[in-house]
Amino acid sequence: MKVLNWFILFTMSLYSLEFTIHENNSNTLNAIMAIGEIKYDDVVRLDNYVSKLPKKKHIAIYFNSPGGNLYGGMRLGKYFKLNGIKTVIQGDSICASACALAFLGGTDSNGNKWMSSTTTSSLGFHAFSKKNGNKYGSSDNIQNIVSEVLRYGQYVNAPMEIFIKQFSTPSSDIYWFSIKEELSLGIKVWDIKNNYFLDEKPTNKTSLLSSTEFIKRYFTNLKKIPYQQSWDKLSKRMQNKTSFHKYKDWWDKKVKNIFIKNIDSISKDMVKITLKYHLKDGKSICSIDTFILENINNKTLIKNQTYKKCF
């Protein structure tokens, strides 16, 4: 059972759900941070917010919310499924009660379920209650609400195990799912310390990629995955040469596409690669880069880079 700082949860509940740009925002991803208590009409506010964002291939919403209005949570979940919006629980954050219901609607742009937590996040469910904390009185009313929640679960294709835990946990308490339980329910879990999804944990084979394959994947995936993941493949020495902000600014705002023209292995830990950059201002750059790799704690990192322009 995860321990929650209830003062933080209470403080968060004083504020309505607010939408801002998340740091993972990129040229292919509209990343939205959602913090606060969920209200019934938040889906309308979110739709208005999304309508003003630039059109991109992917949308993801990053939650840090103690919950709120039951129906507001389900309305958000349906909206996520209908519009192909991924759901994420921000690192070191919570998503409980109505937020947890909304989280279940996470869907990618291809219509596949896509929900993600982290090793430092908390996902919690409990039985519904009125605003004042009292249970709904009428047994008929309770049955109607239960049936609506179950229909919602069916619509977003959520595992029944979640609702068993929800309805068996008093409204005065919260059942926090363990990482193992989240993985068993099809929720992706990002390992904050080691920077990979636990269900995609590298095997010894993938962690010992050849130097050429490592560099090839680095550039092939650079514009497709969150920039933080590529940044984490740089050694501390490389990271100290610039800031993550400048690194992300270059790849996200300046570079439109990057192509590998040629790649050669110089030695076990050295690679020479010819790259062509298409910039967003219409210009093109060609460079010949030499990379030196190192292995730290069974993790391959880029230790050093030298480059020169192509002629």
Phi, psi dihedrals of residue 80, rounded to the nearest 5°: -60, -45
Whether residue 199 has pLDDT greater than 80: no
Distance in angstroms (rounded) separating the CA atoms of residues 293 and 215: 9
Q: 38 forms bridges with which residues in the sheet? A: 68
pLDDT tens column, 285-310? 999 999 999 988 778 899 999 988 88
- What are 156-168's pLDDT values in tens digits? 999 999 999 999 9
* Tens digits of residue pLDDT in 202-230: 544 444 568 888 999 899 888 888 888 89
Q: Is the pLDDT of residue 136 over 60?
A: no
pLDDT at 127: 83
Beta carbons of 109 and 84 less than 8 angstroms apart: yes
One-letter amino acid for residue 149 of the chain: V
Supply the angle between the helices 70-83 and 42-51 in degrees, to the nearest 10. 30
The pLDDT of residue 205: 43
Query: How far is the C-alpha of 289 from the C-alpha of 296, rounded, in Å?
Result: 22
What pLDDT, in 10s, does the model give residues 94-111?
999 999 999 999 999 999
What is the DSSP secondary structure assignment for residue 102, as one 8-state letter? H
Please, what CATH class does the domain formed by 6-198 belong to? alpha beta
What kind of architecture, by CATH, is found in domain 203-309? Roll (3.10)
Q: Which residues contact 208 (CB under 8 A, 6 or more apart)?
A: none
Q: Please report the sign of the dihedral spanned by the C-alpha atoms of residue 234, residue 237, residue 238, residue 244.
A: positive
Side-chain-side CA neighbours of 81 within 13 Å: the count stands at 19
Give the percent of the chain with pLDDT over 70: 88
pLDDT of 5: 39
- The pairs formed by 149-157 with CB atoms below 8 angstroms and a separation of 24 or more are 149/70, 149/74, 149/101, 152/74, 152/77, 152/78, 152/101, 153/104, 155/78, 155/81, 156/77, 156/78, 156/81, 156/104, 156/105, 156/107, 156/113, 157/113
Of 54, 64, 46, the C-alpha closest to 29 is: 54
List the chain domain ranges: 6-198, 203-309
Task: Give the residues across from 273 on adjacent strands.
Answer: 263, 289
Q: Angle at the Cα of 254 (from 253 to 256), degrees rounded to 5?
A: 95
**Alpha carbon distance 187, 104 (integer Å):** 9
pLDDT higher than threshold 50 for residue 174: yes
Cα–Cα distance measured from residue 189 to residue 192, given in angstroms and rounded to the nearest whole number: 9
Nearest to 124 by CA among 217, 1, 265, 296: 1
pTM over cut 0.85: no
What is the predicted pLDDT for the residue at 8?
38
Tens digits of residue pLDDT in 2-37:
333 333 344 344 457 999 999 888 888 999 999 999
